[in-house]
Amino acid sequence: MKHTLSRRKFLKLGMLAAALPVPAFASQGPFEPERRLSFHSLHTGEKAELPYWVEGEYVPESLADINHVLRDHRTGEVAAIDTRLLDLLHRVSAAVGASRPFQVISGYRSPASNQMLAKNSSGVATRSLHMQGKAIDVRLPGIALADLRNAGLMLRGGGVGYYPGSNFVHLDVGRVRTWGG
């Protein structure tokens, strides 16, 4: 039995589909059964390599592990890392063809740590997105720092700071902007 769709029904379905909310993973490209990330905290030596999203759902246990590894290494304070940042990191990793863990210089920062850093450096924002779990400073072994920066810029997921003198790239899920050089 052959099913045909009239032009009117086709247009109605198209308008209905356009009105539906877009799922968070739609920007990830074709359906992926899982998304994995790997981290190596340079300050604590801790590592994590795990799926944080499986079959359309974030994995609470994996998010808790990521939050722990990306905690403020100065105070030990743990906070939730924004899942949009994890998705951005996943997309960056795929864009550069990374096969090794992100080396983490700074993930979450407590307000006290951020205040201390801001007093000692002009490069630290007093209202840093690190304090909201929306920013991370990273590098990827085997990937040129400029390529990591360019992937962040191309994806337009938020802010991209380039710190070649300190050998890291800042990525965040705030407004799209860039700095450093």
pLDDT digits (tens, 9 = 90+) for 100-127: 999 999 999 999 999 988 888 767 787 8
Residue of higher predicted confidence among 29 and 175? 175
Phi, psi values for residue 57, rounded to 5°: -130, 140
Q: Is 80 part of a structural domain of the chain?
A: yes
Q: Is 125 part of a structural domain of the chain?
A: yes
Q: Is 87 part of a structural domain of the chain?
A: yes
Is residue 41 a contact partner of residue 72, using CB atoms and an 8 Å limit? no
pLDDT tens digit string along 82-93?
999 999 999 999
Mean pLDDT of 146-156: 97
Which residues pair with residue 163 across a beta bridge? 168
Both structure tokens of 27: 């920007």
- Residue among 43, 49, 147 nearest 101 (CA): 49
Q: Is 66 part of a structural domain of the chain?
A: yes
Per-chain mean pLDDT for the chain: 87
Q: What is the pLDDT of residue 121?
A: 79
Q: What is the pLDDT of residue 80?
A: 98
Distance from C-alpha of 17 to C-alpha of 1, rounded to nearest angstrom: 26
Place of tokens 């722990």: 68
Q: What is the pLDDT of residue 8?
A: 54
Number of domains in the chain: 1
Q: Is 154 part of a structural domain of the chain?
A: yes
pTM for this predicted structure: 0.81
Q: Is 97 part of a structural domain of the chain?
A: yes
Q: Three-state secondary structure along 52-111?
A: EEECCEECHHHHHHHHHHCCCCCCCCCCCCCHHHHHHHHHHHHHHCCCCCEEEEECCCCH
**Confidence bin at 135 (pLDDT 50/70/90):** very high
Q: What is the pLDDT of residue 4?
A: 45
Q: Is 36 part of a structural domain of the chain?
A: yes
Report the CATH number at residue 72. 3.30.1380.10
Q: Is 99 part of a structural domain of the chain?
A: yes
**Confidence bin at 30 (pLDDT 50/70/90):** low
Find the domain containing 71 and state its range.
32-180
Percent of the chain at pLDDT > 70 equals 83
- Identify the H or E element spanning 119: helix 111-120
Place of tokens 């247009």: 11
